Amino acid sequence: MLLLFDIDGTLLLRAADAHRDALHDALEEVWEVDLRGVKVETGGRTDPDIARDILLRGGVSARAIDDGLDRFREAAARRYAALVPDDLSAHVAPHAVETLQALDGGRRLSLVTGNLEPIARLKLRAAGLGGWFADGQGGFGSDSEDRSDLPAVARRRAGEAWNGGAPWPRERTVVVGDTPRDIACARADGVRVVAVATGPFGAADLTGADTVLDDLRGLPEALDALA
For the stretch 128-158, pLDDT in tens is 999 999 999 999 999 999 999 999 999 999 9
Q: What is the pLDDT of residues 108-120, one digit of tens each?
A: 999 999 999 999 9
Report the CATH architecture of 17-83.
Answer: Orthogonal Bundle (1.10)
| 2-13+87-226 carries CATH number 3.30.70.3280 | no
CA distances, 81 to each of 53, 74, 145 (Å): 23, 11, 21
As annotated, the residues of the chain forming the CATH 1.10.150 domain(s) are: 17-83
Average pLDDT over residues 76-82: 98
Which SS3 state, helix, strand or coil, does residue 169 take?
Answer: coil
Query: In whole angstroms, what is the distance from residue 186 CA to residue 149 CA?
Result: 9
Residues found in the chain: 227
Give the pLDDT of residue 105: 82
**For 33, which DSSP code?**
-
Q: Which residues of the chain form CATH 3.40.50.1000?
A: 2-13+87-226
| Kind plus residue range of the DSSP H or E element containing 176 | strand 173-177
DSSP annotation of 104: B
CA pair distance 88, 79, nearest whole angstrom? 17
pTM of the model: 0.97
Residue 191 to residues 41, 96, 186, 226, Cα–Cα distance (Å): 25, 22, 5, 11
Q: At what angle do helices 96-103 and 219-226 cross, to 10 degrees?
A: 40
pLDDT for res 106: 83
**pLDDT one-digit tens code per residue, 31-68:** 999 999 999 999 999 999 999 999 999 999 999 999 99
Q: Each residue of 80-129: pLDDT tens digit?
A: 999 999 999 999 999 999 999 999 888 999 999 999 999 999 999 999 99
Q: Is the pLDDT of residue 188 over 90?
A: yes
Q: What are the CA-CA distances from residue 2 to residues 55, 60, 87, 127 (Å)?
A: 35, 40, 28, 22
Q: How many CB atoms lie within 10 A of CB 42?
A: 21
C-alpha torsion angle, residues 92, 128, 113, 212 (rounded to 10) = -40
* pLDDT of the residue at 219: 97
